[in-house]
């Protein structure tokens, strides 16, 4: 995987929407789908200075900022804080800021990733005010261990998890490590460790075997997920539990600048955040039909491995 740095001029030029621009947009989609990160040292998403000041300035005085705050665009709902300890005016202001951020993030991606034609489901946005360095979390919730994303409560059924991040800290970088994409990792433990199926009828058994080969024996609750979602959740846990992988895999260290943005398919690119405070993020679930190269998606890779449909 690679960090593809996109200078501000590239975005200003694309406003002309000429043929070169269309080709550029296709390339950006394909780079993302292949497991690269698009990095904008100067964010194309303009967040009003007064909104940033509010997000930063309230940290010392209210508990609303001690946890990650989620915004659900489809319900226009703000969650993740203790309503009893947060002044209503602060909640109202934060709600307004998150709504505006979600809208602005959507517009930016509609332009930059124009070939997708917005064929995505707008998922949650989040405000991440907590210092990541030294954060005390249970193993499966730790952000400082390399992992691919999977949502326990929001199965995607094969849609890919595209995330746009903004580092809104005024002076500090947000420090990540990333590694080889999903297809490379799964491929590296195949075929010696992962039994491949011989029949579509043994889909569930195959995925179970796949999980066992990866050292995953604990059953997961809920059956509403597709076999694909079950596997991706197990895979997320497997990577965090695997100290050998964490220690020995190839790593790229990146410091995302204050005021920068970056985007990636986080179900494809193993990532971990080592340090940083104050980030905004918007998630999009991009439909398989929108992908320019559907063969590079995790679900396609797994379907090739198992010889069966997993959605």
- The residues binding Fe ion (CB under 5 A) are 149
In angstroms, what is the minimal distance from the CB of 153 to Fe ion? 15
* Cβ-based nearer residue to Fe ion, 31 or 142: 142
Closer to Fe ion by CB, 114 or 273: give it.
273
| Residue with smaller CB distance to Fe ion, 140 or 224 | 140
Taking CB atoms, the residue at the shortest distance from Fe ion is 149
By beta-carbon proximity to Fe ion, the closer residue of 206 and 282 is 282
What is the distance between the alpha carbons of residues 198 and 91, in angstroms, rounded to a whole number? 55
Task: Give the nearest distance from C-beta 282 to Fe ion in angstroms.
Answer: 14
Based on CB atoms, which residue is closest to Fe ion, 149 or 229? 149
Q: 77 φ, ψ to 5°?
A: -125, 135
Least distance in Å: CB of 131 to Fe ion?
17
Least CB distance to Fe ion at residue 191 (A): 28
Q: Residue 14 or residue 149: which is nearer to Fe ion going by CB? A: 149
Q: Which is nearer to Fe ion, 52 or 161 (CB)?
A: 161
Q: Which is nearer to Fe ion, 266 or 306 (CB)?
A: 266
Which long-range contacts does 54-61 make (Cβ < 8 Å, 24+ apart)? 54/93, 54/94, 54/97, 55/94, 55/97, 55/127, 55/129, 55/168, 55/278, 55/280, 56/168, 56/169, 56/170, 56/278, 58/90, 59/129, 59/278
Matching residue, tokens 């396609």: 300
Report the residue number, 149 or 303, with the smaller CB distance to Fe ion: 149
CB of 7 to Fe ion, least distance (A): 27
> What is the closest distance, in whole angstroms, from the C-beta atom of residue 149 to Fe ion in the complex?
4
Mapping DSSP onto H, E and C, the string for the chain reads: CCEEECCHHHHHHHCCCCHHHHHHHHHHHHHHHHCCEEEECCCCCCCCHHHHHHHHHHHHCCHHHHCCEEEECCCCEEECCCHHHCCHHHHHHHHHHHHHHHHHHHHHHHHHCHHHCCCEEEEEEEEECCCCCCCCCCHHHCCCCCECCCCCCCCCCCCEEEEEEEECCCCCCEEEEECCCHHHHHHHCCCCCCCCCCCHHHHHHHHHHHHHHCCCCCCCCCCCCCHHHHHHHHHHHHHHHCHHHHHHCCCEEEEECCCCEEEEECCCCCEEEEECCCEEEEEEEECHHHCCCHHHCHHHHHHHHHCCCCC
Q: How far is the CB of 125 from Fe ion (least distance, A)?
A: 15
Nearest approach in angstroms of CB 232 to Fe ion is 12
| Shortest distance in whole angstroms from residue 143 CB to Fe ion | 7
């Amino acid at each position: 995987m690679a960090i593809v740095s996109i200078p501000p001029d590239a975005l200003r030029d694309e406003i002309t929407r000429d043929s070169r621009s269309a080709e550029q947009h296709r390339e950006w989609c394909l780079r993302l789908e292949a497991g690269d990160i698009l990095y904008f040292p100067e964010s194309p998403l303009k967040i009003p200075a007064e909104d940033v000041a509010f997000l930063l300035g309230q940290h010392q005085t209210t508990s609303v900022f001690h946890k990650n705050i989620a915004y659900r665009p489809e319900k226009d709902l703000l969650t993740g804080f203790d309503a009893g300890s947060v002044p209503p005016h602060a909640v109202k202001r934060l709600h307004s800021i998150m709504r505006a951020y979600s809208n602005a993030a959507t517009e930016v991606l509609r332009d930059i990733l124009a070939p997708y034609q917005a064929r995505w489901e707008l998922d949650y946005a989040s405000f991440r005010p907590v210092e990541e360095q030294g954060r005390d979390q249970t193993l499966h919730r730790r952000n400082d261990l390399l992992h691919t994303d999977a949502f326990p409560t929001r199965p995607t059924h094969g849609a890919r998890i595209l995330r746009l991040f903004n580092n809104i800290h005024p002076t500090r970088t947000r420090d990540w490590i990333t590694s080889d994409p999903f297809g490379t990792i799964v491929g590296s433990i195949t075929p010696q460790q992962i039994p491949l199926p011989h029949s579509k009828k043994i889909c569930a058994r195959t995925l179970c075997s796949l999980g066992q080969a990866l050292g995953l024996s604990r059953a997961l609750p809920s059956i509403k997920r597709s076999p694909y979602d079950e596997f991706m959740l197990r895979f997320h846990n497997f990577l965090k539990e695997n100290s050998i992988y964490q220690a020995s895999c190839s790593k790229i260290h990146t410091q995302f600048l204050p005021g920068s943005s970056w985007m990636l398919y986080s179900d494809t690119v193993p990532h971990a955040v080592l340090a940083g405070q104050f980030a905004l993020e918007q998630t999009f679930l991009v439909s398989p039909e929108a992908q320019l190269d559907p063969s590079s998606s995790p679900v396609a890779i797994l379907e090739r491995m198992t010889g069966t449909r997993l959605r």
